[in-house]
Every structure is written in C-alpha cells, then in structure tokens.
C-alpha cells in the first residue's frame, strides 16, 4: 500500500474549494457580466457555405439599421496580423480576422456589425448580403490528400508530412503475430459551460482586453506584437472562466475583430460567442485516423509497432505543433523494441483542429491500447497479462520512450505501471468480473471488460513564476502566472503557500489573470499548473519564510536556525517562546529588522523545473449490450491514477471525474458530423451529444504515488488523466463484449447493431 509522503500541513489535505461560495451564489464575475458605460456589441456575419469565393459583401441595409455604429468589412482588416506567421515551407497560410475572398469552412467570418445592443447587432448582421460562388468541398481527410488544394498558392492539401523509424527493418522483424488495423479518432468539440467572450477598450494608457483565456500573458504578448504596441500598453484581464479544455488558449478572429471595433468606434466593444458559433468555429479536437501494424511473439511480447497517421487540420492553423505529441507518445507504457511512424496533417473545409483536453495523448493511448487488446486476442492471453508482460519495468527509469529521443520520443521520469495495474485489479475484483462475464455469456448475454493503460506528458514550458507578498496584518497575496478555469487553483495554491509559511490557508489569497500584476508565464495548459506554477509559488514562499525566520529571530534574540513557523507563529524550537505571524509581518514592514535587511516580506521567483513529468494509470470499464438493439450500458468504471504527490485529493478527484466523463463521451456519444455538402450537422447540443450526470455510473477511484524528481513538490499533472484512460477502457470493453469485433468511437447503438449483424455503417 502506498501512502502520501510526509509533507507540511495543508499539502495532501482535502481543503474545501474557496471558489465555490461565489460561484454557487452567483457572485462570480465572468466576462459577459462586464458592461462598462457606453459598451457596444459585436456580431459576426458568417458564411453558410463551407467553400466559396466571395463575389461581394453588401452592407448597405445593415449600415442604416437602428443602433448600428460600424460595419467591418474584409478590406478593413486585410492588413491586421494574426498568429501564426505565414510559413510557406510548412504550408502555413496567412490568417486574417475576416476572410479575404475565399471561404474555407461553414461559419467562416466574412463581416462584423457593431451596435448599441446585442440584438441590434445580430439583426443588422442578418441583413448583410453575401454574394458567394460555391466551390467543391474537401471533407474526408483521406480524399483531401489528393484533392485540389483549398488554399490559394499551395500545391497540395498536405500541410505536414513527417516520418521517423526504419521501415525496412520493421518489415524484416520476425514474430508469430503480425496484425494491422485502423483506429478512428472522431472530431470533438470542447463545449465548456461558458462560451468565449471578449471585451475590448482603448484607454489613455493603451489597450484593455477582458477575455476568457487560459494564458493572459500570452494574449498580451500576441496582441502587442500583432498591433505594433509595447506590451506595457496592453493589459489583458481574465476573471472567472467556466471551463476551457484547451479551446481558450490562443487568440481567435473574434478577439481581433472586437479590438478593431473598439478602436474604430472609440467605445468599449463586447463579443459573446453563441453555442452554435462555438460548435462551428472553435478549434475541434482529435480528428485523426491511425493505421497501425504490430509484430509480437507467441508470448505477447511486442517486438515492433508502426503507425501511419492522417490528421484532419481543418482549414486553418491552430496549434499546429501539438500534432507531434501523438507519435512521440506512441508506445505508451510499453517497452517496445522497434517503433516507427508517419504523420501527415491535411487541410480540409472544416473547422480548425485545435487543442482539446489531452491534446495528442488520448489519440496515442487509444491506438496503442486497441493494439494491446488485439495482441491479447491473437495470443489467447488475458488483456491484463499482456499489458503486464509489456510494461516498462520500474528499474528502467528514466526511460527513453517511442524508440528514444532520436525518433522523437520522450524520457519518462518515473513509473511503476505494474503496481498501478495490480491496484486496479484488486480494486475492481477483476477475477470476479471475469467469472461474472462467463456466467452472462453462458446465458446468451453480452458483457465486456475493457482495460486502458496510459502514460502522458505534462509540465510544458519547464519553468513557472510566482510572487508572494505579505501585508502588515499578516495576510498573504500570491500572484501567479497560471490561471484556473475550474480546477481550484485559488485553493490548492493557497495550501502550498500556507504550508511553507506556517499560516492558516484562510489568510492566503491567490491573484491571477491580470497581466498588470501577474508575473510573465505561459498560463494553464497541459496540466502544468501545480508542477510549474505551484512549485514557483512554493519556492517564493520558502524565500519569504526564511526572511520571516530571520526577522523573528531578531525579535526573539535567538538564532534563525532555531525558529520554526507553524500555526501562525514563529517559535523557538523546543520552547513556547515566540511571536505571532502578524508581529513578524508588522516588523518586516515597519523596519524592526536586523541591520543588514531591507524592509518588506515579498519575493518573486521564476523557477526552472527539471523537465517534463509523466503521470500514468490504468482504467477498467464494464459494459453490457442489449442484444436486440445494440444499446451499450456502461455499468462500472474504475481508475487508478498516479500523479505523484497530490496537493488536494478532493480537487484531484474532481479533475478525474470530469476527465473520465469527457473520455466516456468520446467513447459513446461525441462526434462532429458534416454532411456530404460540407454543412455542420451537429451545430447544437441537441445534435452533438455530451454526457450528463444521469448517463454515467459512479466512478470508483484508487491511486498510487510515484513522485517525480522534476519539481520540488514531486507533483505530476492530473487534469487530463481521466480523459486519456477512460476512452480505451470503454471501447475495449465494447469490443470484448462483441467477442473482439473492431469498433470505432463513438460506439453508438447503431454501429453495434450493425457489427453484431456483420454489416458496415
């Protein structure tokens, strides 16, 4: 049995979320709640066609409608820069806030209207007439490879073609088992509770932008660069954010349109995304097709793996580089002797592919876990045993994954994969589940058990920043570069700092989301917050603590080495002699100090970590299937995750619950669908199905603890674990129930019904 390492108070404690009272009572402020005096509203005119030439844009009627202040046409923003910079060598075309003559997806922004009210702006936008010349639609990623290029001036829709590994050596591998197959990773929409919103205002001091974001400092830097402003003239503020899952990490067309509209009108301008706009234009996730080949021996030891990936990029660049995470994590938890891959990113007339929770790791995991189940079936061994035989053993860490760094792999920090598997099998009583499965099958029923093991990479941008400031009354403000969208940073970061200072967590306040006060950093993505931002907060708090001990020693006429901070006091070790934390803070700010010390108790730290960290775990699902209708029922889902040292187990479990729900959604319901004409069929939540509380069973959670040496807290990421492990567990369970029939997510009742009858979709 593993236990949490001994750490200061509050770290490891299930402290209640300090954010919740404001959220539950409706007092939390979101961007759309902000309505400064004189605010105008922006609405976007969008194309109903997925691919067309713009012949003309007639705004005459809209310009004369009530409340209209401005109409923005394509030529008005033709010179406005947007990320990324065009790169012909990598087939990255320029990107502008409004289309410049060529529509590339349904919902493409063609014009915008600014009016006194949101309703007036929408009415006027509906009155803009677009004369469009339809063009052939490039939809399926396979067809797009050889189709005429959708981008002017390019010779192909293949934006990126890269491969690593020795194909000839792979072909020459010997092994009793040689298998191949395909895994589809459907397009998904992030669908956070709060859609995006932007409020821009040009003030005497420059540009002020309130926006839903995961990285305000990155937005500040990007806007300043693209608008030709000093960064000091751009302030970005992000209040409460109602979820993001990667969709709010980069600036989009609407942000630039809102900023432009505010400059043109001289008034604050706000844009709030509708749900349909989100479904149409946000960066979609996954959207990959993997063809895999595997060679294994009769004992199920995998000797070689090859994966050929096609990635549907959609029509524009949004975090192009994140494609590479999938092949770099391609071998998962397993020690595979030979690995190779080819990866092609392809333009299509669909919404851009963007970051979505896990960003590349869920795709790698689902594929390798389907491969492992196929190897198990071919060798007649239990899927759990096949994984056990192929896991990287603990004595091989640090372990170069995916064929080593030369083939684009990572170096995993720590891992005890077999221990996590054993913990899961015991938690779920795996033997009893298999016995029950045999009994159900004997009676003609369909019951499947699926396993999904995973390892992921976290802690991107290997440094974090934080500033700790103590006030005269002893209360503490912590300014961090990370930003939560529901994870509970206001609680967990306060626990970290309170533990270092020996004060109550209630006197520590976390300040985030304002570039005027927060240190520079990359914000929140890739589960980097605790490992990077939390470690920086911890380091800054320790520096404050050391100074506080010296001040207390001065007040007590003792040695600083003998002073301990605990329970809101500075005490001489082994005695009751001490002073309160408030007295130390007062002395620090009023000059009652040792002669060589400057006043104040505040420290800022930019802390470089020891590298990336690699959380891991194993999930197990039980699914029953109605033999008449093909309807699947997820009966149970267990998860054992290892994220190193956990700061707040209650918050960690909340992250796991949410991630598992999204992973199950991908397995059973979620998929973006375009029709043959390129129209988005799943444009509302009536058509795009997401899980609700009533569609999920209780999740049963366990954990192991394998600290990472890469940061002082020993913490790994936990935000994406549930999303990565649950999908393959559920998909494998359905395949198991169908006696090994290959299924593709989302595994719908219709697809199961057809699979049972041997027909295709």
- The answer on pLDDT for 319 being more than 70 is no
**What's the mean pLDDT in 153-168?**
92
Q: CA 1, 389, 385, 419: dihedral to nearest 10 degrees? A: 10
Question: Which runs of consecutive H residues, i.e. helices, occur in 622-748?
Answer: 649-668, 721-737
Angle subtended by helix axes 721-737 and 361-379, to nearest 10? 30
Output the pLDDT for position 2: 43
**Per-residue model confidence as pLDDT tens digits over 614-630:** 999 999 999 999 999 99
Task: Supply 604's token pair.
Answer: 């800022």
Contact partners, residue 557, CB within 8 Å, separation at least 6 = none
Compute the distance between CA of residue 261 and CA of residue 40 in angstroms, rounded to an integer: 9
pLDDT at 313 over 60: yes
Strands (E), 537-625: 563-566, 569-572, 578-580, 602-608, 616-625
How many distinct helices (H) and strands (E) make up the chain? Answer: 19, 28
pLDDT at 92: 78
Helices (H), 147-301: 167-171, 216-227, 253-265, 275-281
What pLDDT score does 99 carry? 97
**Total-model pTM:** 0.95
For residue 84, give the nearest of 320, 355, 356 by alpha carbon. 320
- Interior angle at CA 521, CA 31 and CA 83, nearest 5: 70
pLDDT number for residue 600: 93
Q: Is the backbone peptide bond immediately before 746 cis, with ω within 30 degrees of 0?
A: yes
Q: Which helix (H) or strand (E) holds 548?
A: helix 535-556
**Closest by Cα among 534, 487, 25, 41 to 241:** 487
Q: Which residues contact 375 (CB under 8 A, 6 or more apart)?
A: 177, 179, 294, 296, 300, 302, 386
Residues 197-211: what's their mean pLDDT? 96
| Residue/partner pairs of 371-374 with CB below 8 Å, 24 or more apart | 371/179, 371/181, 371/292, 371/294, 371/302, 371/305, 372/302, 372/334, 372/453, 373/450, 373/451, 373/732, 373/735, 373/736, 374/179, 374/181, 374/294
For the chain, which domains are there? 20-27+460-608 (3.30.365.10), 34-135+193-243+248-281 (3.90.1170.50)
Q: What's the confidence (pLDDT) of residue 674?
A: 97
> Which pLDDT value is given to residue 405?
74
The model's pLDDT over 619-664, given as tens digits with 9 standing for 90+, comes to: 999 999 999 999 999 999 999 999 999 999 999 999 999 999 999 9
Q: Would you say residue 173 has pLDDT above 50? A: yes
Task: Give burial (CB, 10 Å; 0-12/13-18/19+) of 273.
Answer: buried
- pLDDT tier at 89 (50, 70, 90 boundaries)? low
- Please say whether the beta carbons of 585 and 568 come within 8 A: no
Whether residue 616 contacts residue 630, with contact meaning beta carbons closer than 8 Å, is answered with no
The pLDDT value recorded for residue 320 is 61
Lowest mean per-residue pLDDT among 5-19, 226-240, 334-348: 5-19
Give residue-wise pLDDT tens across range 384-421: 999 999 999 999 999 999 777 777 789 999 999 999 99
In the prediction, which pLDDT does 145 show? 96
Rounded Cα distance, 331 and 88, in Å: 32
| DSSP annotation of 458 | B
Tell me the percentage of the chain whose pLDDT exceeds 90: 87
3-state secondary structure of 237: strand
* pLDDT per position as a tens digit, 723-744: 999 999 999 999 999 999 999 9
For 383, the 3-state DSSP assignment is helix
Query: Which value, in Å, is the radius of gyration of the alpha carbons in the chain?
Result: 28
The overall average pLDDT reported for the chain is: 94
What pLDDT was estimated at residue 7? 44
pLDDT at 761: 43
- Residue 422, by phi and psi: left (phi above 0), alpha (psi -120 to 50) or beta? alpha
Residue 394 DSSP symbol = G
Pairing of strands 234-237, 206-211: parallel
| Phi-psi sector, 232: left (phi>0), alpha (psi -120 to 50), beta | alpha
Q: In what order do the strands lie in the sheet with 463-470?
A: 508-511, 476-480, 463-470, 602-608
How far lies 601's CA from each of 212, 498, 520, in Å? Answer: 32, 14, 21
The H or E element containing residue 701 is strand 699-703
Q: What would you measure as the largest C-alpha separation in the chain, in angstroms?
A: 86
More confident residue, 156 or 94: 156
- Residue 88's pLDDT band (cuts 50, 70, 90): low
**Residue 760: its pLDDT value, please?**
52
Whether the per-residue pLDDT at 141 is higher than 90: the answer is: yes
- What the block records as the tokens of 229 is 């402003």
What percentage of the chain carries pLDDT values higher than 70?
A: 97
């Amino acid at each position: 049995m593993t236990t949490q390492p001994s750490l200061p108070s509050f770290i490891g404690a299930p402290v209640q979320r300090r954010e919740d009272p404001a959220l539950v009572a409706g007092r939390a402020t979101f961007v759309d709640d902000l309505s400064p005096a004189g605010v105008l509203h922006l609405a976007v005119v969008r194309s109903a066609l997925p691919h067309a030439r713009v012949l003309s844009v007639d705004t005459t009627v809209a310009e004369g409608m009530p409340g209209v202040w401005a109409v923005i046409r394509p030529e008005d923003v033709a010179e406005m820069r947007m990320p990324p910079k065009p790169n012909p060598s990598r087939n990255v075309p320029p990107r502008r806030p409004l289309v410049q003559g060529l529509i590339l997806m349904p919902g493409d922004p063609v014009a915008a209207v600014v009016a006194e009210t949101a309703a007036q702006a929408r009415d006027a936008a509906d009155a803009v007439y677009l004369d469009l010349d339809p063009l052939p639609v490039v939809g399926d990623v396979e067809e797009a490879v050889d189709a005429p290029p959708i981008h002017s001036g390019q010779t192909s829709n293949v934006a990126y073609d890269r491969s690593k590994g020795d194909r000839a050596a792979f072909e020459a591998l010997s092994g009793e088992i040689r298998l191949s197959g395909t895994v589809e990773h459907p397009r998904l929409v992030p669908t956070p509770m709060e859609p995006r919103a932007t409020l821009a205002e040009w003030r005497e001091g420059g540009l002020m932008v309130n926006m839903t974001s995961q990285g305000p400092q990155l937005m500040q830097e990007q806007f300043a660069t693209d608008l030709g402003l000093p960064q000091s003239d751009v302030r970005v503020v992000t209040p409460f954010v109602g979820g993001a899952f990667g969709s709010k990490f980069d600036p989009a067309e609407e942000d630039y349109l809102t900023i432009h509209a505010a400059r043109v009108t001289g008034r604050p301008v706000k844009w709030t995304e509708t749900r349909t706009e989100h479904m149409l234009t946000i960066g979609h996730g996954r959207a990959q097709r993997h063809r895999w080949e595997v060679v294994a021996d009769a004992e199920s030891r995998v000797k070689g793996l090859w994966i050929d990936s096609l990635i549907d990029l959609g029509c524009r660049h949004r975090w192009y580089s994140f494609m590479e995470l999938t092949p770099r994590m391609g071998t998962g938890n397993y020690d595979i002797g030979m690995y190779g891959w080819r990866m092609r990113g392809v333009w299509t007339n669909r919404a851009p592919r963007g970051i979505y929770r896990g960003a590349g790791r869920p795709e790698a995991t689902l594929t390798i876990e389907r491969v492992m189940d196929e190897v198990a079936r071919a060798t007649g061994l239990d899927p759990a045993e096949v994984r056990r035989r192929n896991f990287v053993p603990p004595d091989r860490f640090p372990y170069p994954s995916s064929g080593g760094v030369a083939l684009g792999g990572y170096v995993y920090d720590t891992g005890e994969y077999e221990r996590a598997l054993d913990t899961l099998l015991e938690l779920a009583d795996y033997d009893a589940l298999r016995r029950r499965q045999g009994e159900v099958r004997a009676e003609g029923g369909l019951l499947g058990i699926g396993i999904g093991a995973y390892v992921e990479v976290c802690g991107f941008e290997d440094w974090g920043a934080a500033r700790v400031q103590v006030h005269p009354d002893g209360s503490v403000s912590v300014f961090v570069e990370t930003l939560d969208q529901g994870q509970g940073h206001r609680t967990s970061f306060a626990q970290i700092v309170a533990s270092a200072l020996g004060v109550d967590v209630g006197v520590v306040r976390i300040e985030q989301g304002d570039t005027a006060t927060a240190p520079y950093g990359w914000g929140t993505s890739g589960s980097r917050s605790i490992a990077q931002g939390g470690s920086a907060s911890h380091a800054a708090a320790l520096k404050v603590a050391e100074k506080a001990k010296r001040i207390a020693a001065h007040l007590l006429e003792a040695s600083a080495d003998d002073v301990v901070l605990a329970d809101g006091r500075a005490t001489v070790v082994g005695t009751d002699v001490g002073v309160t934390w408030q007295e130390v803070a007062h002395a620090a700010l009023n000059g009652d100090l040792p002669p060589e010390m400057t006043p104040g108790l505040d420290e800022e730290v930019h802390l470089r970590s020891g590298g990336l960290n690699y959380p891991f775990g194993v999930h197990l699902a039980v699914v029953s299937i109605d033999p008449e209708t093909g309807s699947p029922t997820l009966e149970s889902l267990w998860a054992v995750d290892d994220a190193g040292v956990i700061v707040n187990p209650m918050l960690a479990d909340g992250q796991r619950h949410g991630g598992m729900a999204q992973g199950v959604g991908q397995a059973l319901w979620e998929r973006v669908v375009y029709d043959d004409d390129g129209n988005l069929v799943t444009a509302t939540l009536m058509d795009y199905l997401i899980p609700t509380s009533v569609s999920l069973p209780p999740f049963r959670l366990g954990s192991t603890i394998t600290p990472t040496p890469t940061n002082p807290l020993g913490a790994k990421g936990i935000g994406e674990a549930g999303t990565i492990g649950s999908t393959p567990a559920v998909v494998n369970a359905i395949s198991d129930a169908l006696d090994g029939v290959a299924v593709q997510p989302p595994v719908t009742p219709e697809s199961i019904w057809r699979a049972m009858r041997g027909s295709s979709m």
